[in-house]
Amino acid sequence: MLSDIIKPNSFAFSYMPISQAQLNFDSQHIWHPYTNLQNPAPVFGVESANGVYLNLSSGERVIDGMASWWSAIHGYNHPALNQAVKSQLDKMSHVMFGGLTHQPAIELCQKLIEMTDPALQCVFLADSGSVSVEVALKMAIQYWYSQSKEKKSKFLTVKNGYHGDTFGAMSVCDPENGMHAMFASVLPQHIFVEAPNCLNDTDWKQEYIGEFNTSIENNHSEIAAVILEPLVQGAGGMRFYCGEYLRQVRKLCDEYNVLLILDEIATGFGRTGSLFAYEEAKVVPDILCLGKALTGGYMSLAATLTSHKVADTISAYKGGNLMHGPTFMANPLACSVAVASLNLLLDSDWKTIIANIEKQLLIELMPCKALDSVADVRVKGAIGVIELTTAVDMDKVQSRFIELGVWLRPFGKLIYIMPPYIIKPEELSKLTDAMILVAKEN
């Protein structure tokens, strides 16, 4: 019963271990991502975290190969990030951003503008990756609305994409193989083409862009923007594709007067080997979405960047207001830790670190491509993927990984890692060993 969990004065902060009664309460009352409460998936209590390790309430200490869904790039309990939060907390934890501003937000926006392409000069600070996508979609629609081109309100994208769980973001996720098919009848209907299949620029064939070319040519009068995850499609299947595809997309967007939105929520801040994936592809988006690693995994924060051309066009129309304003946008705590996280990244030899992780992943994972249970192995930057021939049994596999001393969160046929950048070679090897063993057992 609830009274067994909540006692008088139990809301006082404490470091008491998670009890079995609390875990039972969790399974009966608390939804976790993509789960149901009639047949709840097993969850593992975390007591604390440090470096690349999670300390579980059951006593295990496991290496986190997920970086808390790709965000904790500096690992856990980092003294510089802890101090940024503590210092800001003594000043103010939050203040509304309507009509007010503060130094952490200004510093963060200055840093984001310095880090990204010179064309991207205007920043909207959102409170999650999904919201940053919502803002990007609104920017694109308002941009054309401000030019009396209200018909340009659709988006062109590719299948196997994932951009978030809110309604606007869901509408540009894969409509068939994604996680939101049940909402299809109430979502705005956009234009989808097959996902890119070109892995290397050297293997490029013009036919790879054929369907996209036809779609934008036939529908450009009603397309506000193209939205893509550059080089890596994340939650839609951990699929990689070549930079030439993006260059062709940029060229067609320019030719047919369509904006280009790049969703770098997963790929931004070094994950693919360049600071941003668009740099490797040698393209510049009109609108850029960032999140996840922005705060080093400490707090929820995201950003949508755009050019003065887009911002000024929106602003010139009548009232000129961008129609979005989350209560917690530009939260000072989140902005402070984001500044500290970006400083940590830029002050490190991140490019060499990512290159070394990539090299080790290639050496250790590629041999398992010969296994009968393995369909493919893919590595890019600090991302390693084993694609199996059959889907994993999530409940069974999750517990197996705990036994092996690692925390991984497979989905479908995919066993993958996106570890913190601070991971040591021997810790990375423990992750890859576990991946290969589970692949053999599947």
Is the pLDDT at 66 greater than 70? The verdict is yes
pLDDT, tens only, 127-155:
999 999 999 999 999 999 999 999 999 99
| Cβ–Cβ < 8 Å for 422, 75 | yes
Q: Is 269 helix (H, G, I), strand (E, B) or coil?
A: coil
pLDDT, residue 14, reads 54
Residue 127 catalytic?
no
Do 260 and 285 touch, CB atoms closer than 8 A?
A: yes
In the numeric block, which tokens belong to residue 154?
A: 């659709």
* 319 vs 104: which has the higher pLDDT: 104
Alpha carbon distances (Å) from 353 to 60, 315, 345: 28, 42, 11
Report pLDDT digits (tens) over 277-293.
999 999 999 999 999 99
Helix/strand/coil for 321: coil
Closest by CA to 117, choosing from 262, 278, 293, 254, is 278
Residue 34 among the catalytic residues: yes
Q: Which two tokens stand for residue 8?
A: 């008088």
pLDDT of residue 178: 77
220-278: pLDDT as tens digits: 999 999 999 999 999 999 999 999 999 999 999 999 999 999 999 999 999 999 999 99
Length of the chain: 442
Report yes or no: 263 and 40 within 8 Å, Cβ to Cβ. Answer: no
Q: For 113-121, what is the mean pLDDT?
A: 98
Catalytic residue of the set 34, 90, 205, 318 = 34
307: pLDDT strictly greater than 90: yes
Is 317 annotated in the active site?
no
Give the other-Cβ count within 10 Å of 219's Cβ. Answer: 15
Whether residue 9 has pLDDT greater than 90 = no
Q: Would the CA dihedral through 219, 220, 221, 226 be positive or negative?
A: positive
| Residue-range domains of the chain with CATH | 44-77+349-441 (3.90.1150.10), 82-347 (3.40.640.10)
Q: Which of 292, 380, 413, 430 is catalytic?
A: 292
pLDDT of 6 higher than 50: no
pLDDT of 16 strictly over 80: no
Has residue 15 got a pLDDT over 90? no
Per-residue pLDDT band at 1 (split at 50, 70, 90): very low
pLDDT band (50, 70, 90) for residue 8: very low
pLDDT of residue 3: 47
Evaluate the CA torsion angle 74, 79, 84, 90 in order and state its sign. Answer: positive
Q: d(Cα 260, Cα 215) in Å, to the nearest integer?
A: 15
Q: Which of 64, 127, 263, 286 is catalytic?
A: 263
The tokens of 309 are what?
A: 């051309």
Residue 2 has a pLDDT of 46
Rounded CA gap, 363 and 428, in Å? 12
CA distance 236 to 301: 22
With 70 as the cut, is the pLDDT of residue 100 above it? yes
Contacts of 68 (CB under 8 A, 6+ apart): 297
Q: For residue 17, what are the contacts with CB-CB under 8 A and spacing of at least 6?
A: 47, 57
| Residue 202, Cβ density class (10 Å: 0-12 exposed, 13-18 middle, ≥19 buried) | exposed
Mean pLDDT of the 192-205 span: 96
Whole-number pLDDT of residue 412: 94
154 is catalytic: no
